[in-house]
């Protein structure tokens, strides 16, 4: 079953477009693993996928660590996304993609900045051969992102256009599954949707803690919301996930 189908099925079953960013921190790896699993389990009826980041990978390691969280996600019928933000030369990207695929991740996030040749080509090759999805950063959610993602740039003889528009087109051309566009930028979401049509799923982080509005992002064209702190820092995380899900149903 492809990632696309897995997330669509989970989204339909749980009536949710929320991807949980499971970015807990804890000085004790044992406690961190336990808390992360408890949270994932409790929030699982209200989300459609889980995304792991370096908070868990660096604290728990992959084997006998993060792998058990990926396994739990699968037991809960949820796909797992690795937020690797791959941005290196080919052989290093290839190693990371293969390793995360071996752990069981269903999708991986990469940056388009490194380009295709000896950059993302091996990421797509490995991911495609293993039935994994690639999601590309098209416009990040933090205020500082504007400087470069909105930069006007030319490709060859063409007219100058914002870099993010070129990333959106590359994501379509490279057959990425999805694009990350910050919920903090609804007008950018609208433009990416216009450029990509239905060829990309749009994932929007930055809801709540970073000031983005869930409804506005979805209205602008996002398919999924990536949400961390507004859920896991709430007194009752499951309730927070349920409430947000219901708000944007
Ligand atoms: P909260 O701000 O706590 O909801 O977390 C957002 C999550 O999305 C974190 O895991 C970030 O690393 C991630 N993220 C962004 O916040 N902004 C982006 O532009 C891209 C990502 C991402 O790639 O997921």
Q: What is the pLDDT of residues 171-211, one digit of tens each?
A: 999 999 999 999 999 999 999 999 999 999 999 999 999 99
Q: Could you tell me the pLDDT band of residue 160, with boundaries at 50, 70 and 90?
A: very high
For residue 57, CA distances in Å to 23, 33, 118, 171 come to 10, 11, 25, 26
Please check whether residue 19 is in contact with residue 50, taking contact to mean a CB–CB distance below 8 angstroms: yes
Asked whether the beta carbons of 178 and 198 are under 8 A apart, the reply is no
**Two structure tokens written together for 200:** 């990309």
Interatomic CA distance for residues 33 and 79, integer angstroms = 18
Q: What is the pTM of this model?
A: 0.98
- The SS3 call for residue 245 is helix
Compute the distance from residue 90 Cα to the ligand 1 centre, in Å.
25
Q: How confident is the model at residue 51 (pLDDT cuts 50, 70, 90)?
A: very high
Q: What is the DSSP track for 73-113?
A: HHHTT--EEEEEEE-S-HHHHHHHHHHHHHHT-SEEEE-GG
With a 6 A CB cut-off, is 205 part of the ligand 1 pocket?
Answer: yes
Ligand 1 pocket mutation, candidates 18, 20, 21, criterion most atoms within 8 A of CB:
21
Ligand 1 atom 15: the closest Cα is on which residue? Answer: 205
d(CA 58, ligand 1 centre) in Å: 17
The reply to whether ligand 1 has any atom less than 6 angstroms from the CB of 210 is yes
Q: How confident is the model at residue 31 (pLDDT cuts 50, 70, 90)?
A: very high
- Give mean pLDDT, residues 223-231: 98
The residue from 37, 85, 199, 239 that is catalytic is 85
CA distances from 59 to 27, 38, 228 (A): 8, 17, 17
| Percentage of the chain exceeding pLDDT 70 | 100
The pLDDT, as a whole number, for residue 157 is 87
243 in ligand 1 pocket by Cβ < 6 Å? no
Residue pointed to by tokens 């219901």: 246
Instruction: Tell me if residue 85 is catalytic.
Output: yes
What is the C-alpha separation between 46 and 102, in angstroms, rounded?
Answer: 27
Res 39: pLDDT: 98
Confidence band, pLDDT 50/70/90 cuts, at residue 17: very high
User: pLDDT digit string (tens) for 70-129?
Assistant: 999 999 999 999 999 999 999 999 999 999 999 999 999 999 999 999 999 999 999 999
Q: Is the pLDDT of residue 12 over 90?
A: yes
Q: What is the structure's pLDDT at 156? A: 85
């Amino acid at each position: 079953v492809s990632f696309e189908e897995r997330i669509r099925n989970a989204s339909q079953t749980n009536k949710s477009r929320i991807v949980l960013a499971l970015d807990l921190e804890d000085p004790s790896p044992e406690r961190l693993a336990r808390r992360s699993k408890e949270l994932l389990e409790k929030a699982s009826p209200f989300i459609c996928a889980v995304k792991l980041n370096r908070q868990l990978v660096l604290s728990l390691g992959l084997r006998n660590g993060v792998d058990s969280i990926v396994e739990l996600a699968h037991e809960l019928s949820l796909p797992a996304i690795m937020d690797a933000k791959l941005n290196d030369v080919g052989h290093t990207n290839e190693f990371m993609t293969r390793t995360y695929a071996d752990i069981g991740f269903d999708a991986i996030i990469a940056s388009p900045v490194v380009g295709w040749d000896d950059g993302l080509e091996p990421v797509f090759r490995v991911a495609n051969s293993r039935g994994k999805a690639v999601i590309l950063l098209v416009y990040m959610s933090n205020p500082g992102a504007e400087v470069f993602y909105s930069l006007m740039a030319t490709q060859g003889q063409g007219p100058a256009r914002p870099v993010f528009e070129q990333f959106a087109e590359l994501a379509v051309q490279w057959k990425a599954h999805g694009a990350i566009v910050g919920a903090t930028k609804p007008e950018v979401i609208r433009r990416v949707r216009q450029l990509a049509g239905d060829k990309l799923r749009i994932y929007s982080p930055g809801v709540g803690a970073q000031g983005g509005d869930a409804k506005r992002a979805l209205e602008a064209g996002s398919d999924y919301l990536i949400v961390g702190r507004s859920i896991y820092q709430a007194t009752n995380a499951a309730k927070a996930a349920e409430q947000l899900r219901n708000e944007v149903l």
